[in-house]
Structures are given as C-alpha cells and as structure tokens.
Structure 1
C-alpha cells in the first residue's frame, strides 16, 4: 500500500465525530468548548488513536516477541538458530507438530547476511520486523527446493550486490528467517535434523563461512508470543523499543504520527503520565479484544469455506501476502490472521490447486455453538483426503492461540503419524473431549473443561476436490 493510501487510512481512523454527535457529547458555550468538553475530547482522541495504533502495530510487537523468545531459548542473532519439533510445551500462535521448525534472527546492522538453502523439502519465508513478506525460501521460493544462496540486504545498502545470489532487500534492520522441513515418511526426528543443513553467515565472510549453531528446544518450554505484553503497558514499551531500534518506513509515516501523539517517538523518552497510562492500558485490552473478535466472531459471509458447513478460512484474504485490496488493505483480515498466527507469505494462503498448504479453521460445532472443552465431539473425515503429501487436525487453546496443554501432552492427529494405519475405505472418525470414547484412544485429543478450543485442518499439497466442493469434512458433532 502506498503512502497516500496509508495517509487516507490514518485520517479515516482518526476522523472526528459528526456535528450532531459533537453537539450532544461536547458542550460548547458562546462558541467555545467547555473545559469538560475539551478534556473529554482529548481523552477520547488519545484512546481512539491508541486502539488503532495497537491493532496496526500488533504484527510488529508479535514479531518482537518471537525474537525475544528465540533469544531467551538460547539462539543468538546472526550466530545460531532455534530448532524444534513443535508440541504443547511450545507457546506459539497456531504452531503445529506436522513439520519441525527453524527460526533465526538476522541483525542487518552488522551487514548483509546469506541464507544458504540446501536442496530438499523445505518450506520457508523471510519476514521483516513488521511481519511483512520479503521473500520465500525453499520449495515455495525462487530456489524451488533445488538449493540456493539467498542474500538479504539491509535498508541502507547502496552497493551493487555480488552475482550468484538470490537477492532480497529488507525495509527493517531485523529479519526473521523461518523454515520448516517436511518430515520424510513422517520421520519427525529426521525432519528436525535436516534443519541443521541450512547455513547462515555474513556476506563479508562468504569466502570462509563461520560455523552456525542450532539450539534444539524440542523437549523444553518455549514462549515466542506477546501474550505477557498484549493487554498491558508493556505492549507500548515493547513497541517503543522497536521504534527506537528500527529504521522508519515511509509508508508508516501517518501511523508514526499517531504514535507520537501517544508519546512514542523515535529517540525521545517514553514517559506517559497516569492519565495516558490508563488510556494505553485500556486501549491494549480493547484492541486485543477487537482483534480476537475478528478472529473468532467475524460476521463476514466470505469467511465460510462451504455454505453447508461451519468451517472457516483461517485467512480471509488469499490473493497476496499483504492483505491488499485494489485500493487499500483488508484490515479485518489482517487483524484476524495476526491475532492467531505468525508469518506471512503469498504462497502460504493461496487457494489454488498445487499450493503448498491449505488451512481451515474450526471454531463451532454443527449447531453453531463454540467448541467447549468440557464436551465431547466427533469429526468425520471422508476418505481419501485430497492431498499429495499429508493432512492433520491440530487443537488450540482459545486464550493462548497455541497448542492445547493437557495431561495427554498431545494436540494433533496426523495422517503420517497417529493416523498412518487407519483404513481409507471409509470416513475416518476423530474425537475431541475430556475423555476418550472407548476404543478410540488413538484417534482422540483431550480437551480442558471450562476452556474453549479451536482447530486447524491442514492439507499439504491440496488437490482439486479441496477447492471445488466435491470433498469436505463434516462439522464437529456433539457426542451425547
């Protein structure tokens, strides 16, 4: 989205109230606002700006949490990466256990960096500090899974890049390298170890690359989410940190202006008084709620995958990785995605046959009620499932948006693992609830009474019937 669209967007968000509203809500005397009217206007304007700024910069703060979590787990910028085979112990917005992860933070203030991908079944992406897409790596990228050297340039790079590289330029100093390795024949350990074949090093040392480390936290607790910040003053403190350490992006100028009105400005101290602290905390709480309502309570007809099912698209936009419309940005789609997920790439959300993956969101049962952890549900999956690689159903806690944590220590049912031996001559029945139905323990995920949950149904290598409506899973059905 260009600068003028951003300005129009910002002005729309910060727009004033109508004359009739102003006349009733803000009393004037002899043509001038009363002190009470002026104070109310100041408070409401700051609150409105704060809510919109919260939602706009949520992806930025979310990625800062990812960087923070990887560093806390032992990964060092430009020197080592975090690898793990995902599980319930990992607090990670809609992370999954289908494919092992690798995450690395690049600090381009130290110069251009090289990400050397080996040939193989890797899916990866480069995102800048605002979770904006830079490029794909691996199978969905220009190296097409055949291997290649990706050169990531910093914002101020003015030299001619050397030959022999796939060149990308970041708008921010800090960059996320995220990669997944498709597990061969469901061998998660082999997939995890395959991540160690990725090489990352400074361009300045390309002639003799230094060793790059990998920190395996598969068995350890890791949190790479902003959950501890997202509803309090820390959200704004973390955002101020990013504003100070990052380059300014021209398209964001109107939004930086809104932050300045809230006391957040590059190079200046952030010292909100008690009035502003209360406004910022309230805005964080309400902004979070509005984003989650976009995720869980949207009323858009285009959210449904099929007219006769309750399944929804995890992302409301699929044409590109920036939620762009012909004349602007689909803000609800953007809020919806980042309230429950991380990372973005155009290839990640394509609704076309042959795309890398397809995600469907299950929030409600057949009757339309939200899924309840104290009840038992059945999900019938017709066979064969239209995919070339594998499929899975993963259960998430509605509050953490991360894999559900129970005494079962399990959140997914996968065609290459738990379901590899189920018959495909009839529909596969999966169960979800606090207690497994007799004889169905291997096809069951435990849920927590008193807590809501949702599921992602993932297809890897989806084929035609997944798109033309000739195949569809049933809705979650309450087992009485």
Structure 2
C-alpha cells in the first residue's frame, strides 16, 4: 500500500514537472513571437515589427539590423537637413548676392555696385524699384574697417551675414544724414580698443559684412557726389576712394540656388565665420552631412542625395511659413495684409531663436535695418504684403485683381506697390522693360487717380479699358505677391485708422 502511494506521488510530481517545463517552453515560444505595432504603439522591447514612415523596423530582442540602422540614419539626417535649410536661409541668401555681385559685376571689396535699371534691380530679392541701390560686400577678417560717411539724403546700414543690422547709416543712423566716421570691428576684436572722439564704433558678429545704401536725393549729380565723398579702408591707414560700378545694365539673380548648390554656398561662407554659441546645435546636425568649418565640402553620394532632398523640403516649409505665417495675425483685422517684419532685430528673444519669423522674411526678402524693423512716425519704412484676395483665395497669375488705395495714404515721403514672383521672390518678369511694368508709386505722373484722391491699381492678365496706366501684368503660371511700401509712415498707419482693403478679383 505504501509502495503504491509512493508510486502515485512520484507520477504526480513527474506530471507537474512536465507541465512546468511545457509552460516554460510555451512562454519562451511566446517571447519569440514577433508583434506588429504602429510607431505610436511601439514597445521598443523584445521581438517587434514597427510600421514607420520609412518602412518596417524589425526588432529582435530589442535590437535592429544594419539595414534598419542605415534607414534611421538617413531619415535623421534628412530631417536635420530640412530644418537646417530654414536656419541657414539668411546667411545663404546674402552670400548668394555677394558671389553674384563679384562674378557678374566684377566687384571687389572696395567697390560699390549701383543698381538703377530694371534689368539690374530685377536680380534683387524683393528689390525696391523706386530708388537707386548702392551695394558693397567686404570682410573684417584682416582687421577693422573705418568709413568716412558723407552727409546727404541717404538711408541704409551695415549688416552682418545673418542679415542683422550692425548699425544704420544716413537718415536713420546716428549721423542723421549729417555724415560721420564709423569703425566696424570683427567678432574676434575688442571694440573698446578702437574708441576715439568723433567716431562711432560697432562690432559685427560675422567677418563678412554687407553695406547697403539707398540714395533718396533725386537731384542731378547726387550719386556722383556721394560716391566721390565716401571713403573707407583699414583702421590706422589713409582712407581710400571706393570704386563705383554703374551703368552696366547686366542681368543676374540673387535667388538662392536649389539642390546641392544651396549647401555649397552655405559651406563656403561657414569657412570664413566663427560659430556662435546659439548655432552650435546646427553645426552638430550638419557635420554628418559633410558641412563643417575647417573641412572641405565633399559629400559622398549618400550625403548629396539627402542634402538635395532636404533642401527641397526645407524650401517648401519656408514657403509655407512665408505664405501662412502661423505665429502672427494680419495687421488689419479682417484683411489678408501682413506686416512683413514680425521679429526682433537680434533674431532672438531671452528664451528662443526666432527661426520661423526670420525664415519668413529672409526666404521672401533680403536685408534688415532699424528703420525697416522698427519704423516710427515720420521715419523709416513699412513693408506690407499679401498673398490672398478678399475671399481668402491665393492670388493667381491667370486672374485679374483690383486694389483700391484710399486717399491720403499716411506717408511723409511716398508709397509704392511692387509686384514679385513667388518662385524667385524677385521683381516680376512679365516682358516689360520699364520699372513701372512691375512697380507703381505715388510719385508716378502717369497714374490716374480718382476724383476723391483715391486710386485703383490692377494686377493680372488684362486691365479694364482705360486703366492701362494703373496696371501690372502677370503671365503664365508665375504666381505673385506684392509689397505695399510706406516711406516715412505717419501716425494713422500706426494707430490703424488707415487701412488697405484686400485685392478684389474682377475677371
């Protein structure tokens, strides 16, 4: 009897042990089974197939294979390239202009190029067609620059290559149109070493600088007199006359290149510049893509493909910001008009860099000065822009629109309406050879005003009968936008008692 009991207990124990072994085997089998999840539901544990925008990522005991690793790196670098396009837009755009001015006009760092004709100005991204431009690019890499700036009716300034104003010149500058001596030192210099009586001393955050001047004096000989009086050169050496290059009437384009050429431009200028603390994360993102100060830009096939794709997506994102600036609202409630400058001069606040805000402007336009960013009643300039009509629809090249400009636009100087291509962001090329084919302003004696002092301006395929003098033509599928500029805006603009209505479609 006892022997039978022992036998039964032994059989029972053996059965239990077999069950435990089987249970363990089944548990291991379940662990080896692969789960399929969405990216949002991924456990990142065990065996798992995760469906992602770059295809399935297979995990085996938490790890992925070399193919998945390569695809993840490609996606990471692509995302970084697209965002780096937005970050780098101000510097790449200005470098494009510098390089074009040197190659097309043969300008050195002691030359100013004068842009006057439509062909010359049509190369400038959102160029102002109403007054001559006088432009120079120079470098502080070999030491500070001294400028003897002449008195006169001018407006302009010096920018670093992030397109931030170092200081204004002329009417909105410290000299207030009376002329002055200026000293500009580079990022590695101590400005205090160059302070002296009778000189304004400023420091640029970049070695490359841009000197941009608009001549407001329309008197005959004003440009020649200004050019003859302007002097500059290294501090401590006799100042020299500058070269004035004018009357060339050459075609060129300041629109930043697309594809791999965009990154070639950026890589070249980064070789000349120190890396600011605020930009170090961006340099870390670009290094795996072959863009690094002190290293030649020689991307391999993988890097080139990712950079090309990233530039295309980055530009789409920048254009979306430009058309639909989600961080702000229209200037006049109930309209589609935005004030183009909607960020701070340093392009940053105490808590963030204003990436989206500055990308909106510097994708669409070029340059910034105190007078442009922070105009005051009777001084500076205002840039108003719109991309939609009164129905909220995008402006089209195959439609015709009317803009009714009320009487008594509040300006101490004048106003203008200039037409630009959305593709190039440069003055619109519609086959016209005269500036008024793409820009109309209140000083134009060919304009037909209404009896009450208001005016109707037309943009599109065909003007209403008798309104050809108030018309700017659009062509093909070249989408467009405008700048309505107010020079020396007065109080009714700032208190918004003056407002522009939207474009109305009339075809």
Q: TM-score range with shorter-chain normalisation? A: 0.7 to 0.9
**Paired residues for 1:76-475 under 5 Å:** 76-85=107-116, 87=118, 90-158=122-190, 160-163=193-196, 164-184=198-218, 192-193=223-224, 195-197=226-228, 199-204=230-235, 206-207=237-238, 209-217=239-247, 219-226=249-256, 229=257, 231-300=258-327, 302-317=328-343, 320-350=344-374, 352-409=376-433, 410-418=437-445, 422=449, 425-475=452-502
SS at match of 1:245: coil
CA distance in 1, matches of 2:474, 2:187: 46
Indicate the residue corresponding to 1:35 in structure 2: 66
CA distance in 1, matches of 2:470, 2:225: 29
CA distance in 2, matches of 1:414, 1:215: 27
SS at match of 1:54: helix
1:67 and 2:94 matched: no
Shift of 1:78: 3.0
Moved over 6 A (4+): none
CA distance in 1, matches of 2:135, 2:43: 50
Shift of 1:195: 4.7
Is contact 2:186–2:203 with CA below 8 Å preserved after alignment? yes
Q: How many residues are paired up?
A: 454
Is contact 2:405–2:500 with CA below 8 Å preserved after alignment? yes
Deviations 1:328-370 (A, max 9, x none): 1232211100111111223312264334011110211111122
Rg: which structure is higher?
Answer: 2
Shift of 1:19: 7.7
Is contact 2:138–2:208 with CA below 8 Å preserved after alignment? yes
CA distance in 1, matches of 2:106, 2:151: 24
Unaligned runs of 5+ in 1: 1-16
CA distance in 2, matches of 1:194, 1:334: 36
Is contact 1:125–1:179 with CA below 8 Å preserved after alignment? yes
CA distance in 2, matches of 1:470, 1:54: 39
Q: For residues 21 and 240 of structure 1, do their structure 2 counterparts lie closer, same or farther at Cα, with a shift above 3 Å needed?
A: farther
CA distance in 2, matches of 1:370, 1:404: 17
SS at match of 2:476: coil
CA distance in 2, matches of 1:396, 1:140: 26
Shift of 1:429: 0.9
* Structural RMSD (CA): 2.4
Is contact 2:170–2:176 with CA below 8 Å preserved after alignment? yes
